[in-house]
Structure formats: C-alpha cells, structure tokens
Structure 1
Amino acid sequence: MDNQNDVIEQQLFTLLRRTQAIHIGTASGDVELERSSYGILCLLADEGPQRLGAIAQTFRLDPSTITRQVQTVVRLGLAEKSVDENDRRASLLELTELGAAAVAEARDHRREMLDRLLAAWTPDERAEFLRSLQRFNATVEKWIEHGTPT
C-alpha cells in the first residue's frame, strides 16, 4: 500500500464486511431482522415515529427503496403506519410492541458480542476507538450535508 489512506480505505472495506458478519452472527430471538429492517427499527426506537420521507433522507436512499423496506417491517408486525396528524397526506411509521422487543433483544445480543470482541481491550483503548469512530462519523456527516468535511 502506498500511503495511510490506502490502508484506511482497505480497513473500511474490511469493517464493512465484518459488520455484515456481526449482523448475521447476532441474529437471535423469534424475529430475524435484515440489516435494513434493523436500521429502520433502531431509528424508530431512538427517535420516535418518522415520516417515510424522513427515513429515506436519514439513510440517503430513494423513497421507493424505503417504501419496500417499510413494507417488510409492517408486514412482520414490527412497525405500523398511521396518518400524520400534522399533514394528513403523509404517513408516520412507529414501532409496535413486537418491534420494540425485537430491537431491544437484537441490541442486547450485539452488545454482548461487542463485550466479547473487545474483552482484551483496555478501557483507554475502547475510549480511543469510540472517540475516533465518533469523529469519523461526524466528519462523514459534514461531508454528506455540506460537501466538505470541515
């Protein structure tokens, strides 16, 4: 590799592959969550009911893609659509009790796996990793929102 950015790019791709393995390896419970379904359900758990357009914008996906993914979580009984009282033309998506339980169980299982994966790391190493990951994500967000990472 020529420089650090080459290695970083390679490591990001490796992380992407490993993240998929973690997703598959942390499936548990009665409901098998696809990665896209898990993302939508976590958004609803963290931020409450969402308009479909807001979900599409959050994930930077075409609304038709989000519509298909939302249909899946609704069909599984993990979320339900309702009319947005502020704009009756729009729909809101919110978690059902089953969806909230599925997210909680999946998150618990993933956090247990992270505990095992990072068991040999010191608290300082974990804190450094967390700070760097948060900074990287914030930089990417600025780039997406403003076209510049600064």
Structure 2
Amino acid sequence: MEKLERELMLLSRHQVLGRRERDPERLERSAYLLLSRIETQGPMSIGQLADAFGLDTSTVNRQTAALLRCGLAERVADPDGGMARKLRITVEGGRRLAGDREVNRSCLARVVAGWSPEEVRELEDVLVRLNRSAEALEGRYWPRTEEDGARAVCPPPVPQESATPAPAADSRI
C-alpha cells in the first residue's frame, strides 16, 4: 500500500501543476468537477451536487455562485417539475469545459505516447476498477456515459468480500 499511496499522490501532483500555471484561464478544479458532473448527469440542484460530492451545501453554494458569476452555469426550473431550481451548463461553460478536457487529453496523450494501445486500455480498466471501489466505499457513484453518448448512471458495483477488513472511510475531501 505504501507504493500505491505514493504513486497516487504523485499522480495528483502532476495534474495540479499542469492546470493553472500553464494557462490562468483554465477552470479551477472545483469548477471542472462540478461542470463535469452536471454535463454527465444533467441539471442538478445545489443539494444534489452536495450529496454527490459529499460536501456541505454552503461549500457547494459558494462554488456554484462562482460558476454563475462567470457565466459558466445558469439556474433553470427543474426539468422534472420539482420545486428546486437546478443548475445547468451554459454554452460558455460547455465551451470552457470542452477546452480544458481537450488540454487534459492532449497532455495524457503525450504522457502515454510510448505505450501500446493495450497498455493504455489496461490502465483505463484498472483506474475504472479503483474508482468504482472507492465509490462503493463512499456510497457515492459517479455517473458514467455509455459509449453511444447517452446519459447513464453506472449501477453500483457489488462489494466483494475481502480477507482483511477495510479501514473506515474518511469523509473529508
């Protein structure tokens, strides 16, 4: 576990260093995550976003207020007829998210340029498994889009028995 923890820490370091220093117009991490979730799941209320990320509603309220001020999201009536107003991505928010995503993918392509397609798929599969295992422990699942582009929520994975008990999950971010 020591090596795994160290490598995951280093991986997050590489992503953070590449984000803001190269282009100050890039989205903040919280904006990227919120917009990505809304893009995948569709319009969401502040309460739904708070539940999805396991955050306090006041924290999500501050983060979404920044999205609204920058014109990256807008408040809309609940498309399902509910009482709460929901947030959806604006055209500008979609453009900025797509731009950041393209930069991220371009950087990743340079990182794995010497890898075979099979090695890239193997890494993708392992990371999906890692993320789904973490989601199962937290009880919060990230919706995943199907290959056809339709919105879909990934069904919760079935937890598997382990020979060693898992440590208690820490809900802090």
TM-score > 0.5 by shorter chain: yes
TM normalised by structure 2 equals 0.75
Bigger helix fraction? 1
Change (3 A) 1:126 1:25: farther
1:36-55 alignment runs, 5 A limit? 36-55=30-49
| Long gaps (5+) in structure 2 | 141-157, 161-173
1:27-106 alignment runs, 5 A limit? 27=23, 31-84=25-78, 86-88=81-83, 90-106=84-100
C-alpha deviation, 1:140, in angstroms: 0.6
Bigger strand fraction? 1
C-alpha deviation, 1:149, in angstroms: 5.2
Contact 1:27–1:106 (Cα < 8 Å) also in 2: no
Q: Tell me the equivalent position of 2:7.
A: 11
| Long gaps (5+) in structure 1 | none
Aligned-pair RMSD on alpha carbons? 2.0
Q: Deviations over 1:61-116 (max 9, x none)?
A: 1111000000000000010112336232x120001111111111111111111111
Q: How many residue pairs get matched?
A: 142
In 1: Cα distance, 2:22 partner to 2:136 partner: 30
- Counting aligned pairs with the same residue, the percent is 32
TM normalised by structure 1 equals 0.85
In 2: Cα distance, 1:19 partner to 1:61 partner: 22
